[in-house]
Chain A
Amino acid sequence: MGHNHGAMARSLLTPLAVVVLVLAAWYSEMVVRVPEPPGPVVVTYWEKWTSFEGDAMRAVVDAFNRKQNKVFVKLLTISGIENKTLMAVAGGNPPDVAGLYGPNVAQYADDRAVLPLDDFCAEYGISAAQYIPCYWDIGVYRGRVYSLPTTPASTALHYNRTMLREAGLDPDRPPRTIEELDAYADKIFQRGDRGRIVRAGFMPAEPGWWNWGWGCIFGGKLWDGKTKITANAPENVRAFEWIQSYSRKYGATDLQTFRSGFGNFSSPQNAFLSSQVAMELQGVWMHNFITMYAPGLDWGASPFPHPSDRPDLANSTFVDEDVLVIPRGARHPKEAFAFIAFVQSQEGMELLCMGQRKHSPLVKVSDRFWKTHPNPYVRLFADLAYSPNAIAPPKLPLWPEYGAELNNAFDQIALLKKSPKEALDAVQERMQPKLDDYIRVARLRGDEP
């Protein structure tokens, strides 16, 4: 009997397994299917932000959803958004709105991965005149608008007033020229036991986010806007010589050891927040991290210094922004733009930028925004964005690669492995043929030059 029982169980096992599998396959299809609820059109929106930055955007989305009942925006947090969006477009299943980074726009527009927005802008009365010029410009590629900003950022010299004071410097008079910056840095610089660096005034490699761009601070250009890469322009070489002077005077290895002791950027052990480095180039967001991790820090912000022989380069600032785009293949582009337009309204934009504690990219700013903004230097950052010396990454589809080359050149000269001229010549030699290739293929494709 027992034998029979086993055989019966076994004969039942196979159909059972088949049923389980069919159920699993069916269920896995159900999970994937996103039901389109009747009522408002659902716009899927991918955004990269988490924590308080994400909360700020969520408040804007909620405000939009409450305000009208035709469109419902579904906000999803996606990490690695630029790759994911590309793959989703390639896979034919993109979101309706994606929150990319400003420097992605040229590449994505060139790949036809995002839709031009000019017609929509005209329909909603959105135009360049309403924006701080540099922030509008980031979304324009070859004369067409491909993205509109969410939150912008400009940079300034952040300095630790306590450390300046301790070095016998006037905390109310931050350095204005590169030469003053160097002199300040030397005064603050300290070594401890066994010659180890314990405190630095300034380090070009910290925080290391604009290593590609120091040449622009010295008036250099990275390309001519058409066909020529200008990586080894004299101004760029001069900037790299200045960077290398830090490795020479303080010792490349010593600086390395010093840096390896810094904690994560977002932690109380951050070099600037823990008073290990007195002066840093940082963006408008730095205030958030100061309040979070070093609320007692006595700090100030001022325009980044310029070379003393180039007063025309005063108020240089790196500008960048997060942007909204409509990927190609989006199911509801019209409804998507209705949401984008809401973000561009003064109401939506101030809600968002206040939530993220940045300045607004719009020309018109309410008094309330200025009065209630927690960052004491917010006007400085907004003013800097108007500067003729506002520097944005070049709008070159090759930029990710070009930027990586420049960062690598920076590493090499900071580690004294190459001379500035050598390093930049190498970048030039590498990138020019790539640009030539790009132009050649673009012609083959019949793209307008």
Chain B
Amino acid sequence: MRSQTRTALLFASPWFIGFSLFLAYPVVASLYYSMCDYSVLRPPVWVGMHNFRNLMKDEVFWISLKNTAIYAGMALPLGMATAIALALLLNTKVRGMTIYRTIFFLPSLVPTIPLAVLWLWVFNGEHGILNEVLRRVGLPAPNWLSDTAWSKPALALMALWGAGNAMVIYLAGLQDVPTEMYEAAELDGAGWWARTRNVTLPFLSPVILFNGIMGIIGTLQVFAEPYVMFPGGSPARSTYFYTMYLFDNAFIYHKMGYACAMGWIMFLIILVLTLVALRVSEKHVHYQGG
């Protein structure tokens, strides 16, 4: 047994180093910096809880948090529903599935910069393709990019194109659903929807939970697209998200301490949300074999 422990520690040793250097140390260090005035270039000056107190009073902090929450509230359910729907569609046995799967995964492979430019043109209020279509079918065509009420929904819609990543994981989860269950359900005369509801989704629920938590982490940290498309979170800070404010504080305003404090608050928020998600899901997630 002793020798196994030694062997095990040897096997795990890369992670001891990786964990302490790239996770434990920076986490502790950033907690320290969050209580300092620190610009990277000059030695940190201890200010205690000052950064956290200032954050509580900081209107922009709250705006960015609210924007992020609203965005996540739209993008997360929408994105999950889309990814699940796509995975269900792609799990049917029709020809050419390899090609379809690749196509749906494609947008998540395109680099951010060209993609963001494309969205600027798609969502353009005057000449955008989306509004062209909306006008044709007689729906209102809002100023997606310059109207404070529509800029966040525009971003949530854009995020749908990146559903490919989650879709792949759902697809993988669907491979595990035993075919006998389907056949049994079909013999019982259950239709497609009933089968999906009663067989597929319960089996998929652990994967849904996994993707849900990953989705919370991802949507709360939304950064690249709005940063490229909406400089400064325009119009009127309606697209100014948490990570953008954090980034601006760190690299534009040179307030690393303040940024670290924001990072820590985000960490706590994600932690709480994850625990809530785990608790809520307890009743709804079905693990195979208990």
- Residue numbers of A with Cβ under 8 A of B are 83, 86-87, 89-90, 107, 111-113, 253, 256-257, 259-261, 328, 397-398, 400-401, 404, 407-408, 411-412, 415, 417, 426, 430, 433, 437, 441, 444-445
Closest to B63 in A: A408
Are B253 and A257 touching (Cβ within 8 A)? no
Are B251 and A411 touching (Cβ within 8 A)? no
Which A residues lie within 8 Å of B42 (CB)?
111-112, 445
Q: State whether A259 and B146 are in contact (beta carbons under 8 Å apart), knowing that A86-B254, A404-B248, A411-B236 are contacts in the complex.
A: yes
**Complex Cα spacing A266 to B254, Å:** 31
Are B127 and A261 touching (Cβ within 8 A)? yes
Q: Is B91 on the interface with A (CB-CB < 8 A)?
A: no
**Complex Cα spacing A87 to B256, Å:** 12
Are A260 and B45 touching (Cβ within 8 A)? no
Q: Is B202 on the interface with A (CB-CB < 8 A)?
A: no
Cβ of B1 to closest chain A Cβ, rounded Å: 31
Which B residues lie within 8 Å of A260 (CB)?
124-126, 143, 145-146
Q: Is B47 on the interface with A (CB-CB < 8 A)?
A: yes
Cβ of A259 to closest chain B Cβ, rounded Å: 7
Are A261 and B253 touching (Cβ within 8 A)? no
Q: Could you write out 9 A-B pairs with CB less than 8 Å apart?
A: A111-B41, A112-B42, A257-B125, A260-B126, A260-B145, A261-B127, A407-B232, A411-B235, A444-B45
Are A256 and B126 touching (Cβ within 8 A)? no
Which A residues lie within 8 Å of B59 (CB)?
426, 430
**Complex Cα spacing A411 to B145, Å:** 13
With most chain A CB atoms within 10 A of its CB, the pick from B41, B232, B235 is: B41
Closest to B51 in A: A437
Cβ of B229 to closest chain A Cβ, rounded Å: 13
Are B253 and A408 touching (Cβ within 8 A)? no
**Complex Cα spacing A253 to B232, Å:** 20
Q: Is B205 on the interface with A (CB-CB < 8 A)?
A: no
Closest to B248 in A: A404
Are B143 and A256 touching (Cβ within 8 A)? yes
**Complex Cα spacing A83 to B47, Å:** 25
Are A257 and B143 touching (Cβ within 8 A)? yes
Are B47 and A112 touching (Cβ within 8 A)? no
Q: Is B234 on the interface with A (CB-CB < 8 A)?
A: yes
**Complex Cα spacing A94 to B17, Å:** 30
Are A111 and B235 touching (Cβ within 8 A)? no
Closest to B37 in A: A441
Question: Chain B 29-58, CB within 8 Å of chain A: the 1/0 string?
Answer: 000000001011110010100100010000
Which B residues lie within 8 Å of A83 (CB)?
251-252
Contact residues of B: prevailing secondary structure: loop
Query: A111-B42, A256-B143, A404-B232 known; 15 other A-B pairs, CB under 8 Å?
Result: A83-B251, A87-B251, A111-B39, A112-B42, A113-B41, A253-B143, A256-B125, A260-B124, A260-B125, A404-B248, A408-B237, A415-B235, A430-B60, A441-B45, A444-B45
Q: State whether A441 and B47 are in contact (beta carbons under 8 Å apart), knowing that A408-B236, A411-B234 are contacts in the complex.
A: yes
Are B41 and A411 touching (Cβ within 8 A)? no
Cβ of A8 to closest chain B Cβ, rounded Å: 28
Which B residues lie within 8 Å of A113 (CB)?
41
Q: Is B274 on the interface with A (CB-CB < 8 A)?
A: no
Which B residues lie within 8 Å of A87 (CB)?
251
With most chain B CB atoms within 10 A of its CB, the pick from A400, A407, A441 is: A441
Which B residues lie within 8 Å of A426 (CB)?
59
Q: Is B282 on the interface with A (CB-CB < 8 A)?
A: no
Q: State whether A90 and B232 are in contact (beta carbons under 8 Å apart), knowing that A83-B251, A400-B252 are contacts in the complex.
A: no
Closest to B50 in A: A437
**Complex Cα spacing A143 to B90, Å:** 68
Are A256 and B146 touching (Cβ within 8 A)? yes
Which A residues lie within 8 Å of B60 (CB)?
430
Closest to B58 in A: A430
Closest to B147 in A: A256
CB within 8 Å of A: which of B229-245?
Answer: 232, 234-237
Which B residues lie within 8 Å of A445 (CB)?
42, 45
Q: State whether A400 and B236 are in contact (beta carbons under 8 Å apart), knowing that A260-B124, A261-B127, A430-B59 are contacts in the complex.
A: no
Q: Determine which of B45, B50, B146, B236 lies in contact with A417 in the assembled complex, contact meaning CB atoms within 8 Å.
A: B236
Are B41 and A257 touching (Cβ within 8 A)? no
**Complex Cα spacing A328 to B148, Å:** 42
**Complex Cα spacing A25 to B88, Å:** 44
**Complex Cα spacing A407 to B236, Å:** 8
**Complex Cα spacing A112 to B51, Å:** 22
With most chain B CB atoms within 10 A of its CB, the pick from A113, A328, A404 is: A404
Which A residues lie within 8 Å of B252 (CB)?
83, 400-401
**Complex Cα spacing A415 to B59, Å:** 19
CB within 8 Å of A: which of B208-247?
Answer: 232, 234-237
Are A111 and B237 touching (Cβ within 8 A)? no
**Complex Cα spacing A86 to B253, Å:** 11
**Complex Cα spacing A24 to B47, Å:** 46
Closest to A401 in B: B253
Which A residues lie within 8 Å of B41 (CB)?
86, 89-90, 111-113, 328
**Complex Cα spacing A174 to B232, Å:** 34
**Complex Cα spacing A253 to B39, Å:** 41
With most chain A CB atoms within 10 A of its CB, the pick from B45, B127, B146, B236 is: B236
Are A86 and B126 touching (Cβ within 8 A)? no
Which 4 pairs of residues, A with B, have the shortest CB-CB distance?
A261-B126, A260-B125, A411-B236, A90-B40
Closest to A430 in B: B59
Which A residues lie within 8 Å of B143 (CB)?
253, 256-257, 260
Closest to A258 in B: B126
Q: State whether A415 and B148 are in contact (beta carbons under 8 Å apart), knowing that A86-B251, A86-B254, A111-B42 are contacts in the complex.
A: yes
Closest to A260 in B: B125
Q: State whether A400 and B253 are in contact (beta carbons under 8 Å apart), knowing that A407-B232, A411-B234 are contacts in the complex.
A: yes
Closest to B256 in A: A90
**Complex Cα spacing A397 to B42, Å:** 14
**Complex Cα spacing A126 to B252, Å:** 31
Which B residues lie within 8 Å of A400 (CB)?
248, 252-253
Q: State whether A107 and B254 are in contact (beta carbons under 8 Å apart), knowing that A113-B41, A260-B126, A426-B59 are contacts in the complex.
A: yes
Closest to A89 in B: B41
Which B residues lie within 8 Å of A430 (CB)?
59-60
Are B236 and A412 touching (Cβ within 8 A)? yes
Which B residues lie within 8 Å of A256 (CB)?
125, 143, 146-147
